[in-house]
Amino acid sequence: MTSAADNGPAWLDRAADRSPAVQRSRDRSARRAAALVDAAHRLMTRKGSAFTTQELVKEAGVALQTFYRHFAGKDQLLLAVFERIISEEAARSARAARRLKDPVDRLRLHVTEPFTSLRGRRNTTQARFMTAEHWRLYQLFPDEMNRARQAYTDLIEQALRTATAAGRLSSTDPAKDAWLINQLVTSAYHHFSFAEDPRRVDEIVDQLWTFCLAAVGGRPEVKGPTDGRREGLSQGP
C-alpha cells in the first residue's frame, strides 16, 4: 500500500506552480518556497501563528514580492507549515515502526507517539499551533487538510491490516477503523495541547490505547501478581 507519507509535500507543488517561471526554474522556485516555509516554521516555534508577513520575509531573507509569487497569502503559508509538520511526523513514526517486528506494537506506536512532545510540556508552541489552526484551516482548505492528515491514517491502516492478517487483531474494515482512531487521537492531542495538568497525559494515553486496541479485537496482556505494569500485548480473541 502506498501511503501519503511516501509522496512529496503537496504544499511544495502548489507553491512552485504559482511561479510564472515554473517551466524554466521549478527547482529554484521550490527551494525558495521551502525557505519561506522554513522561516515560517521557525517563527511559529517562537510565537505561534502571530507573526506578520513582514516578519516572515525578514526571517527568510527575501523580498515581499517573492513571498507572493509562491503563496497567495499567509493562510496558504500556514497550511504549508501544517502539512510539513504532519508529513515529517508521519515519516518519523514510519521509520520508528520499521524497527518493530510486531504489527500490534507498530499500531501502538502510531497511537501513542503523537503525545510524546506533550509530556513535560515540551514543544507546546507547535502543539498549540496545530490545535488552534486545525479547524480554521480545514474550513478554508478541506481537501488539502484531508490529504495532509491521510499520511498518519495510512500508517494506522497498514498496521491494522498487517496485524489482522497475522491473526493478532480482527479489524473488519481497516480503512474505516484507521480513520476513527486518527480522529480520536487528534481529539485527545488537541485537548492536552492546552490542558493545564500535563501529569495526566500518560494516564489518558494508556486508556486511549486500551480503548483503540479493544475496538479492533485486541486486549492488554493480563498483569502478573508482582508486576503492575502492562508490558506487552496478548493475542486478540
pLDDT tens, 114-151?
A: 998 887 666 688 999 999 999 999 999 999 999 999 99
**Tens of pLDDT, residues 21-46:** 555 567 788 889 999 999 999 999 99
Q: Which residues of the chain have pLDDT under 70?
A: 1-8, 16-25, 120-123, 196, 198-199, 221-237
Number of structural domains (the chain) is 1
Chain centre distance of CA 1: 19
pTM of the model: 0.79
Determine the structural domain holding residue 26 and report its residue range: 4-234
CATH of the domain at 106: 1.10.357.10
Using alpha carbons, select from 115, 114, 111 the residue that is nearest to residue 213.
111
DSSP tag of 224: P
Q: What are the CA-CA distances from residue 76 to residues 18, 43, 67, 139 (Å)?
A: 12, 16, 11, 13
Polymer length in residues for the chain: 237
Using alpha carbons, select from 148, 32, 154 the residue that is nearest to residue 97.
154
Using alpha carbons, select from 184, 188, 201 the residue that is nearest to residue 121.
201
Type of residue found at 124: T
